Amino acid sequence: MHRFALRILASSLIFGLISACQPADESGIQKKLDQYASFTLTTDLAQLTQQEQDMIPILIEAAQQMDPIFWQQAYGNHDSLLASIDDPATRQYVEINFGPWDRLDADAPFIEGVGPKPAGANLYPADITKQEFNASLDAPEATVSQLRSLYTLVRRASDGSLTPVPYHEAFAEHVAVASERLAAAAELAEDPGLKRYLELRSEALLTDEYRDSDLAWMDMKDNTIDVVIGPIETYEDALFGYKAAYEAYILIKDQEWSDRLSRFASLLPDLQRGLPVNDAYKRETPGTDSDLNAYDVVYYAGDANAGSKTIAINLPNDETVQLEKGTRRLQLKNAMRAKFDKIMVPLADVLIAEDQRQHVKFDAFFSNTMFHEVAHGLGIKNTVNERGTVREAMQEHASPIEEGKADILGLYMVTELFEQGEFAEGEVMDNYVTFLAGIFRSIRFGASSAHGRANMVRFNYFQEQGAFTRDEETGTYSVDLEAMQRAMGSLSRLILTLQGDGDYEGAGALLQEKGVVGPELQADLDRLAEADIPVDIIFEQGMSVLGG
């Protein structure tokens, strides 16, 4: 069977009953829409040269190609689904979620007649089981490598067996346009590092060979415009965590804030050595070429724009590149400010004890988020017992466990830097109270989000360790600083050990036991909904809001 036919077959298997679907209750859909606050993505383009300004619409055109690709990965035929829906609000909610499953409600279907979301989304056949996939790994080594590749779809051949389809073939039409647009932008690029990255990324979209462009991206230092584009994160693959989803960000560097952050990258090796875990689990040395920068984001596309929105980036994910070069941490300052103002502040007024609310501050939110991303580079990338990379050993548990690690080690790093006198402003209590408020914010993303599950685990662990108390009369929470610091240390050790051992069963048990929302917490979260506090944001974006 031709690969084109295989792709069509995959869509019909999962989504052949679209015509029978009916929208859910319209008032219920409106409540779902109200979970999102609108925010306009803009920046001061006057800081750019004329050639840089001319690049922006070209880069947006490249980024826009990630949307139809991610639709295919997450669901299937976008046009057929929307054509089956008459209600405008339901259509809008489908667009926000890239499908009929609610990303803020554990991927529950919100359209009648649509069944549960397949764990592997549309990255695998809908009827695949883990047992069948694992059995297929008895194939020749080259086929196994392709089946497990970040950059292939898994489809059925005419005899029912599993076969890989490379992304650049499956999505040839869209990657061709994106590649051409990146090449056109490269011709305008004045910064040599950006020019080389765009040229290599343009080629990579056509070959699925991304390492050279990842290395070139790490080498960029003086560029004002930045671009993240291609198949990157594996959150959409809840079956194994093997498959990367397409996304894009178009970014403009905030030089003033970036200068404030630059000194922290050099501290990573010392912070790694000080991790509260046995030496075997911190034996790797983080790359020293890492950097920290702040940006205004002007465009999101694909996976990045589905459901809850990313406010910081830590890339590349390639473990080889990370060990050689480190990673780059990009703080999306304007999107971060939107979430702080529209969500964190009103949330704290409901759930944080009145005498601690003054500690919920944007600078603390920014540094907690930043060091979350930095902390992805700490710990260990390869298991200590020859089980391969942590990502391979953990399979579908890799993302929530890694996000949990980054959260808790980010707080550890902030604490260490305060003790070392690296932070001249604020106090450590600001970061701890803001961290607690951030747990409530992220739990609302739901169990389908790796970040949401990580925060559920941490809330329950912290509660058991007495890291915070809850006032029964007011229903508000207070941080116990010393107890929270002890809980931070013990949870850090637990997660780092699970990762280093490649303990798939242990990670699954932790997520199953503690990755849940209890009745009392759910009642408190319901109070946030009753107070009309949004869960996340949606964007007005593109050249129309940038003055183009």
pLDDT in tens, 382-438: 999 988 899 889 999 998 899 999 999 999 999 999 998 888 788 999 999 999 999
What is the C-alpha to C-alpha distance for residues 427 and 183, in angstroms, rounded to an integer? 47
Q: Phi and psi dihedrals of 242, rounded to 5? A: -90, -35
Buried b (16+ CB within 10 A) or exposed e, 233-261: bbbbbbbbbbbbbbbbbbbbbbeebbeeb
Q: What angle do CA 99, 407, 437 make, to 5 degrees?
A: 80
Q: Phi and psi dihedrals of 502, rounded to 5? A: 60, 40
Give 328-340 as a DSSP string. EEEEEHHHHHHHI
The encoded tokens of residue 290 equal 């890492």
Which structural domain range is residue 87 located in? 3-39+69-159
Question: Does 457 map to a domain?
Answer: no
User: Are residues 491 and 461 in contact, defined by beta-carbon separation less than 8 angstroms?
Assistant: yes
Question: Does 217 map to a domain?
Answer: no
What is the C-alpha to C-alpha distance for residues 503 and 187, in angstroms, rounded to an integer? 48
Element (H, E) at 508: helix 504-514
Bridge partners, 48 (sequence order): none
What is the C-alpha to C-alpha distance for residues 521 and 251, in angstroms, rounded to an integer? 37
Query: Is residue 540 exposed (0-12), middle (13-18) or buried (19+ Cβ within 10 Å)?
Result: exposed
What is the C-alpha to C-alpha distance for residues 476 and 469, in angstroms, rounded to an integer? 8
pLDDT score, position 291: 75
User: Are residues 419 and 525 in contact, defined by beta-carbon separation less than 8 angstroms?
Assistant: no
Question: Does 18 map to a domain?
Answer: yes
pLDDT score, position 11: 40
Positions in the chain short of pLDDT 50: 1-20
pLDDT score, position 21: 52
- From residue 329, alpha-carbon distances to 261, 375, 425 in Å are 10, 10, 22
- What is the number of structural domains in the chain? 1
Among 181, 210, 218, 241, residue whose Cα is nearest residue 61: 181
What is the C-alpha to C-alpha distance for residues 75 and 118, in angstroms, rounded to an integer? 9
Question: Does 512 map to a domain?
Answer: no
This prediction has a pTM of 0.81
Bridge partners, 297 (sequence order): 251
Question: Does 145 map to a domain?
Answer: yes
What is the C-alpha to C-alpha distance for residues 371 and 412, in angstroms, rounded to an integer? 9
What is the C-alpha to C-alpha distance for residues 213 and 202, in angstroms, rounded to an integer? 9
Query: Is residue 346 exposed (0-12), middle (13-18) or buried (19+ Cβ within 10 Å)?
Result: middle
Question: Does 132 map to a domain?
Answer: yes
What is the C-alpha to C-alpha distance for residues 495 and 510, in angstroms, rounded to an integer? 9
pLDDT score, position 7: 37
Question: Does 406 map to a domain?
Answer: no
pLDDT score, position 3: 37
